[in-house]
Structure 1
Amino acid sequence: MRLTNLKVAEQSVSFLQAVQIGLGKQQGLFFPQSFPQLPVDNLLAMPFQQRSQRIMQALIGDELSDAVIGKLVEQAFTFAAPLQSVKNNLYCLELFHGPTLAFKDFGARFMAQAIQQARELEKTTIVTATSGDTGAAVADAFYKQPGIQVVVLYPEGKVSALQEKQFSTLGDNILTLAVDGDFDQCQSLVKQVFDDQEVVSALHVNSANSINISRLLAQVCYYFEAVAQCPPDSREQIVFSVPSGNFGNLCAGLIAKAMGLPFKRIIAATNSNDTVPRYWNEGYWQGKPTQATLSNAMDISEPNNWPRIEAMLTRGLIARSDIHAYSVTEADTETALRALDKLGYVSEPHAAVAYSALERDLADNEVGVFLGTAHPAKFKQSVEEILGKTIELPGVLAACQKKDSLSERIPADYQQLRKRLLQLR
């Protein structure tokens, strides 16, 4: 597998090189020129792990042996992605059954295995930004792994209390920095790290955001799993609705479609941070100051993965008609949560955004699948206030809730971050 820097076309790397480098020159994303076509009918008849091994083998190619790729998948995908019926012809793909109760577990755990496979140095420093769930998934995937130091930046006061506790209470090789700013500023700080060659060289820096291609490709697998759980005669009519912030999740779905997965289209569902819906529907790209919302993990105005989606459109790998885009207000998010509750399904704000957009878009003869990206208990306070009912905490959340945060506070200033990072040498 060869991947090209979308900003510097001369920089072409292998899969393992892309995993190790993370972000390319001039902050460019690595991406393949095309994707393999798969024997979909045969794949959809396989169990999840076996199918996922075949998908990752096709994507990565012969750089890693089939046995090695099989081991990476087996160690990463140790939990299910069930398709839960909500009402007739409408389902939630539950992606929150992993160790940190969020969809990021799929990509983070595979990426952790891939980075260990690619690592040639005694120590690697993972620097990542989180708007909520990435921090917990990455911290859990790399916790106490030898030779790995993790640094998580997050916007102070702008992630849920339980999300924060999941990654800020671990210690050991996990350093968490609460930034006085929003997620876009955290993301900008991470990009500045990659432009600082002294820091990159001193700490052997890598990233665990979805800019790392290994995390993105792993997410392709659960779209195949969703379609596999639908009746064969309905697959061509499936419409996915994806709660979208940094747009890695949507990009993974489009990669699955480019590989031949049969579904009709995919919806980019954002909250009030609506840069992409405005661009998609009105034709101009203009970021606005990030707004804090109930669906905080999507509070992003400059999504990192959008250039990859643009590249797929430009290369003809997907069509414009494959994507619809909607922005969902806070009021509509609350309405969607209550509507789901009336149907007997307790959800959380991010999935509610996807459900609301799907309800606007879905035709009578189509099958809707919205992605459930986190367990509702991770947003216990807001969900309880909206629904007027108590949400039980799973054991993993109850345990971390009792622990003290170990985070350090820093301003949204690169020189301050740089000074702290160099102390890790």
Structure 2
Amino acid sequence: MDLQQWLERIEHQHPKSIDMGLERLRDVAERMGMGRPARFVATVAGSNGKGSTVAFIEAIAAASGLRVGAYTSPHLLAYNERVRIDGVDADDASLVAAFEAVEVARGTTMLTYFEYGTLAALWLFERAGLDLAVLEVGLGGRLDAVNLVDPDVAVITTVDLDHQDWLGGDREAIGAEKAGIARAWKPLVLGEDDPPSSVLGHAYAIGASAIRAGSDYRFGRDDGCEGWWWREPGFELSLPLPGLAAPAQLRNAAAAIAALRALDLEIDDGAWARGVAAARVPGRLQRFERGGVEILVDVGHNPQAARALAEWLLTAPAARTVAVYGALVDKDAVGVVEAIASYVDAWHLAGTEAAGSRGRDADALAQALAGTAAAGAARHGDVATALAAAAVAARPGGRVLAFGSFHVAAAALAWLAAGDSEAGAGGAV
């Protein structure tokens, strides 16, 4: 089977898309003879900022000449994006070989799509001779597939209300699930100044060493300076602004630095700055220009992410901002719109039925948003149609912001790529 056939097979191999727990996974890993995926492992959880934090860790370590693997999810345009070794996406043949190894070992054990992919990534990492593997949690932390591996450092970027059906109804419950990635007597980096008490309580109970933003490490910008600083007692860095644009990226980069500082790795002095400047993640305020209209693509899908987008929009005003918004059925669409409405001049709602059972059509989304600033918004069957209409409505000098889910971001990038292909030019600015 080729890669696409394998992906179709593993998508339907388990009757549930999510089946949280580690016992089945642990049994299959043992039958595979699975060892450590790298000399050091960093695991990253959080409601927002996980992918960016992974990218900063990966880029800084790579800039210091270390061999690094990164496992992230979901992907935007191709599954290969989920598994990177030395900054290069895994090729089809490598992924097929890894899936074949999992298939032989699993016997009659049923695995979800994410569990299958996690074992495949770990199998590839183990064979690559890595110095560092960076693993992004898919959902929660305690029962997530990547928690199969004991990390040398754990990172929790933020804790906010998301995936409440699975993780609990408040920040304390969700924080407790995310804190499950911490290990006894190992460092736990916390990206928030004020994390839930459940996170701190768990760290204390198991003897994990909590490294807290605003306390054990600090960061900030100096007035009039085209850069920023990061410091801990006895150590300070002067750094360029990240290539990733949103103000929240300083916090993500700071947590990444704290994670690497907590490991027994040699990072050369210049690698901190080179890595911070070089880190890139598709779909994080990714900027394009089409016919004099700025088009921004972002995967933000919950109120916390929308507040971060609003913070950036406040610092970068445009003549007119038109939003293309699409949401899954289990997301707080009202909270998202309310968080960013002050910075949007017009709304276009896009259907996300392509996401499957979690998708929501534009009419249903409009009904949910009836009492918000997006009431009466134009409705479109898909993201491509919404983007085409929004680009006209924004007018030259204006801006289109496409956001709301990974599915919206992926469809927007595909639409932009198709336009580039037809024009024979283009790309991100």
Q: Same fold (TM over 0.5)?
A: no
TM-score if structure 2 supplies the norm length? 0.31
TM-score if structure 1 supplies the norm length? 0.31
Rg larger in structure: 2
